[in-house]
């Protein structure tokens, strides 16, 4: 990695308070890994080149890759109805599950309303009892943990093998991910980072109290653990080195769905397709309790970038390094527009979240309320978030038709993922690629 990038990592961690960071680049057959800081503030263990970490949602690309491998074997078609292959799959919205095809699970258009659904056991049974649909399959794009978890159960149904076994034998081993594993029992035998959260008063990092999400979230990213070199190996496999045919790799890179807003990326199959400069990066970010990983593949540059920071604030460094690698030194520029915010006021809901939106003085004010399904799920989300899931009301200013940016932040250079958008005549609100449906209350 170029010296200025090493310096930028050191400087960022010092200035932000992120305890540790590890990043790697593979380009045209050459590979570099650089680690800095501390992997675990409780023990003082250093972050090393070979330190393991939770992959988080990067696992979703692996799940999609497993489905594509089964499609190549003729066991699955992307146009199959999920209920035909997985009869136990149900949703509380009548007829919604029957409309979902396999490709809807992979491109985040299934509409399954289960983004924060954390049952410890019997995921499919609980899904059919407790979760409905945000929208009919294929009509919108909303980042979906539930869709990928259902894809994991689908893989088990059509192969007769456990998801973790498939991940190990069909992804880790053939891709050369030699240090990757699927649980804390393996991670404890090697150097492994834990997550940290910034103290809301001092900004100082404190260790997480929950290492990983429940095993029911395996296919969405709850359990797989490995190193930067493991992620680089997986990324190289998506440049054409051995996991899938060229035809399947190309299908995963094609735009399957586009939210039509700068605040969320179009999707392929598994991948988010993020425009950066003059190229498209195949990306996925992986959050874990107090940590954030990233994997990006830039086919036009023959480049793979992977990184992990053990504090959520590291996401800013991920974006900066990836932009530099892609040759994009520009920053988005937004401008306030005089738009009547009143049509967007109302109450919006998604799984266990309520968003109350008011029009105030030419701006929108949003209040997000978490309404946990049960105490156990509240404990899990609290562990993932590093504390109670509460936030004060947030003001937004209009910067386009149905597009709003947080008030009080500089619009010049504001990253697009800060934006909130409204769709279908304000029938839906989208933030971070996740939809909520407007309701009458």
Q: Alpha-carbon distance 21 to 38, whole Å?
A: 8
Sequence-ordered list of residues with C-beta below 8 angstroms from that of 95, at least 6 positions apart, any chain = none
pLDDT tens digit sequence for 185-207: 989 999 999 999 999 889 899 99
- Compute the average pLDDT of residues 118-132: 95
Helix (H, G, I), strand (E, B) or coil at 159: helix
Instruction: Classify domain 1-330 at the CATH topology level.
Output: Beta-lactamase (3.40.710)
- Judge if 1-330 and 342-439 fold alike in CATH terms: no
pLDDT of res. 11: 95
On the question of pLDDT at 441 being above 70, the answer is no
Confidence of residue 3 (pLDDT cuts 50, 70, 90): low
Q: Alpha-carbon distance 136 to 208, whole Å?
A: 37
DSSP code at position 93: S
Which residue, 137, 144, 166, is CA-closest to 153? 166
CATH number for 342-439 (one of 1.10.3470, 1.10.287, 2.40.128, 1.20.1300): it is 2.40.128
pLDDT of res. 389: 79
On the question of pLDDT at 145 being above 70, the answer is yes
Sequence-ordered list of residues with C-beta below 8 angstroms from that of 78, at least 6 positions apart, any chain = 71, 101, 102, 103, 106, 269
Kindly report the backbone phi and psi dihedral angles of residue 96, in degrees, each rounded to the nearest multiple of 5, phi listed first.
Answer: -70, -45
Q: Alpha-carbon distance 384 to 294, whole Å?
A: 17
Confidence of residue 272 (pLDDT cuts 50, 70, 90): very high
Confidence of residue 330 (pLDDT cuts 50, 70, 90): low
- Compute the average pLDDT of residues 144-165: 97
pLDDT of res. 276: 87
Confidence of residue 348 (pLDDT cuts 50, 70, 90): very high
On the question of pLDDT at 123 being above 90, the answer is yes
Report the chain's mean pLDDT, rounded to a whole number.
Answer: 94
- Compute the average pLDDT of residues 125-142: 96
- Compute the average pLDDT of residues 289-313: 97
On the question of pLDDT at 159 being above 80, the answer is yes
Q: How far does CA 253 lie from the centroid of its chain?
A: 17
pLDDT of res. 313: 96
pLDDT of res. 328: 74
Q: Can you give the length of the chain in residues?
A: 441
Q: Alpha-carbon distance 114 to 71, whole Å?
A: 26
Q: Which two tokens stand for residue 79?
A: 């146009």
Which residue, 369, 144, 372, 184, is CA-closest to 289? 184
Kindly report the backbone phi and psi dihedral angles of residue 400, in degrees, each rounded to the nearest multiple of 5, phi listed first.
Answer: 175, 180
Q: Alpha-carbon distance 256 to 259, whole Å?
A: 10
pLDDT of res. 201: 86
DSSP strands (E only) in 99-204:
196-198
On the question of pLDDT at 316 being above 70, the answer is yes
Domain boundaries, the chain: 1-330, 342-439
Contact 288, 212 (CB under 8 A): yes
pLDDT of res. 33: 96
On the question of pLDDT at 329 being above 70, the answer is no
On the question of pLDDT at 98 being above 70, the answer is yes
How large is the angle between the packed helices 123-130 and 145-159, nearest 10 degrees? 130
On the question of pLDDT at 277 being above 90, the answer is no
- Compute the average pLDDT of residues 206-227: 96
pLDDT of res. 56: 97
DSSP strands (E only) in 7-113:
20-27, 30-40, 45-46, 53-54
pLDDT of res. 415: 86
pLDDT of res. 2: 53
- 29 versus 52: which is more confidently predicted? 52
- Compute the average pLDDT of residues 319-332: 82
Sequence-ordered list of residues with C-beta below 8 angstroms from that of 337, at least 6 positions apart, any chain = 398, 399, 400
On the question of pLDDT at 4 being above 60, the answer is no
């Amino acid at each position: 990695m170029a010296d200025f990038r090493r310096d930028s990592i050191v400087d960022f961690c010092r200035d932000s308070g992120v305890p540790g960071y590890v990043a790697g680049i593979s380009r045209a057959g050459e590979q570099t890994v650089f680690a800095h800081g501390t992997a675990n503030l409780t023990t003082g263990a250093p972050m090393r080149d070979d330190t393991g970490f939770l992959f988080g949602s990067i696992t979703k690309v692996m799940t999609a890759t497993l489905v594509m491998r089964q499609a190549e074997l003729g066991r699955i078609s992307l146009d199959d109805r999920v209920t035909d292959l997985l009869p136990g799959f149900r949703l509380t919205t009548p007829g919604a599950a029957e409309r979902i095809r396999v490709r809807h699970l992979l491109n985040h258009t299934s509409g399954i309303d289960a983004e924060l659904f954390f049952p410890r056991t019997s995921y499919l049974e609980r899904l059919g009892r407790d979760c409905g649909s945000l929208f009919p399959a294929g009509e919108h794009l909303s980042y979906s943990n539930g869709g990928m978890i259902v894809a994991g159960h689908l893989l088990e149904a059509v192969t007769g093998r456990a998801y973790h076994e498939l991940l190990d034998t069909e992804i880790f081993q053939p891709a050369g991910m030699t240090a990757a594993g699927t649980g804390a029992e393996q991670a404890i035998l090697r150097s492994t980072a834990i997550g940290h959260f910034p103290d809301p008063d001092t900004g100082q990092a404190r260790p997480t109290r929950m290492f990983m999400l429940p095993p029911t979230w395996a296919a969405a990213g709850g359990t797989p653990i490995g190193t930067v070199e493991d992620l680089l190996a997986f990324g190289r496999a998506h440049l054409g080195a051995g996991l899938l045919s060229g035809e399947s790799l190309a299908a995963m890179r094609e735009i399957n769905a586009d939210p039509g807003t700068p605040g969320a990326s179009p999707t392929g199959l598994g991948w988010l397709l993020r425009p950066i400069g003059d190229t498209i990066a195949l990306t996925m970010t992986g959050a874990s309790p107090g940590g954030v990983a990233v994997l990006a593949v830039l086919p036009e540059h023959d480049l793979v970038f992977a990184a992990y920071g053990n504090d959520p604030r590291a996401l800013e460094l991920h974006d900066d390094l990836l932009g530099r690698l892609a040759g994009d030194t520009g920053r988005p520029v937004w401008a306030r527009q005089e738009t009547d915010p009143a049509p967007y006021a109302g109450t919006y809901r998604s799984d266990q979240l309520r968003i109350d939106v008011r029009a105030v003085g030419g701006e929108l004010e949003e209040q997000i309320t978490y309404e946990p399904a049960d105490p156990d799920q509240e404990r899990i989300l609290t562990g993932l978030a590093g504390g109670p899931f509460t936030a004060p009301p947030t003001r937004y200013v209009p910067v386009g038709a149905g597009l709003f940016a947080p008030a009080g932040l500089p619009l010049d250079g504001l990253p697009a993922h800060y934006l909130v958008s409204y769709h279908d005549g304000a029938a839906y609100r989208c933030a971070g690629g996740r939809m909520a449906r407007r309701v009458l209350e």
